[in-house]
Amino acid sequence: MMISDADGYLERTFLSPGSIRATDLIVSWMQDAGLRTWVDQMGNLHGRTDTANATAETLLIGSHLDTVVDAGKYDGSLGIICAISALKVLRIKGKLEKLYRPVEVIAFSDEEGVRFQSTFLGSAAIAGILPPTALQISDKSGITVRDVLRENSFDATYEGLVQVKYNPKSVWGYVEVHIEQGPVLETLGYPLGVVKGIAGQTRLKVEVSGAQGHAGTVPMLMRQDPMAAAAELIVTLESLCKYPDEFLTYDEQCGFFGKESLAGLVCTVGEISCWPSASNVIPGQVNFTVDIRAIDDEARKSVVSEFSNQVHRKCEQRMVNCTIEHKHNAEAAHCDLELTMQLKHATSSALRKMPSDIHGDLPILMSGAGHDAMAMSHLTKVGMLFVRCRGGISHSPEESVLDDDVWAAGLALLQFLDQHVNQ
């Protein structure tokens, strides 16, 4: 069964009808696992164990229920289902009420940021880092986050955001299970790996405005064409991120970053729009998005700064107007070392219980993709477990994982709960 806002492909965005239907289904799964459920003022779904030691710090486990457009079915959802399944096993074994500390599963309402181009609405609210101005962010139709919340009977006020925020003193840590979205585990032949950190991310919106005109009458040398300018800027971004040595200066002794800081640097233009978008009209305006990611925050900021310089320089040369809007910025998140080692030990123990010919140390990976753990790292210590996916393909209906790998992830999470939560 596919719960989607679209016919023929998977799409669930922030508090969309499909997301609401998915929430209702997950509520039933959580209650079947013996969890007490509720939905907070940002649309996040919670399922919590009631334990004798209710005042102990809570272990949070979660991932997101929203998707990209034409998505795969494992991104986000797998982590929610693994967590609920592990707790259901504890309930069946009569151990759920014996947990030393409360365990809470959270299905976050927005991680992908498809509708409002602002990721982590759900987890950032819980972590207390979502600014009140986020309520005013609008989608392409001019509908704001506040409008969507009110349409779904949520408070949609600053006071409502304050209610969503968790007290750091009440939380023990956060764990997330997620597909790798990359090819490393498959290449190494491992079903699972633990994560040591997540790359920082900057999202920009570039607007290029020129002189709209007739495609057949304006001479080439007299044009102020924002489409041609945007094309040059996009190619410049590609060159900057492929060959940063040709654009940036490195000097570690003077406090600048070293070349190794740009390992894994990636830049993407994922969306382009123009007005009036007709084949016989020179556009008047072209907009495009930019996504820049790197493990080192200072290196990423330098790339963003250099791209901004290139934009203004090239737009001036072409006599078009350019503006750059910062839509999202997330600092790199480093997983807690002790929690990472605990997850590694639990995962290794789980894999030994399964028939396999795996030998050697469990891989410890960096994540180039953003995850809710980035936002939650502002609240508490975080740890992540990656699950192998075929070909490293994600954000695509071709996304695929092996049943045995899902089984291994569930066992690893159950082992973690047994070793570090259950008395």
> In this predicted model, what pLDDT tens digit does every residue of 105-157 receive, in sequence order?
999 999 999 999 877 999 999 999 999 999 999 998 999 999 999 999 999 99
What per-residue confidence (pLDDT) applies to 264? 81
Please give the pLDDT value at position 261: 76
Inform me whether the pLDDT recorded for 328 exceeds 90.
no
- Cα 409 from Cα 387, distance rounded (Å): 7
State if pTM tops 0.85. Answer: no
Write down the pLDDT at residue 297. Answer: 92
| pLDDT score recorded for residue 62 | 97
In contact, 26 and 35? CB cutoff 8 Å: no
For 1, counting Cβ atoms within 10 Å of its Cβ (0-12 exposed, 13-18 middle, 19+ buried), the class is exposed
pLDDT at 184: 93
- Phi first, then psi, for residue 161 (nearest 5°) are -65, -40
Residue 261: closest CA among 271, 269, 251 = 251
Confidence of residue 359 (pLDDT cuts 50, 70, 90): low
Taking the C-alpha atoms of residue 333 and residue 211, their distance in angstroms, rounded to an integer, is: 43
Mean pLDDT, residues 285-310 taken together? 95
Residues 135 and 65: beta-carbon distance below 8 Å: no
CA distance 68 to 6: 12
Whether 10 and 73 have beta carbons less than 8 Å apart is answered as yes
* E strands in 131-256: 171-179, 192-198, 200-209, 213-214
User: Across all residues in the chain, what is the average pLDDT?
Assistant: 93
Beta strand pairing call for 213-214 and 281-282: antiparallel
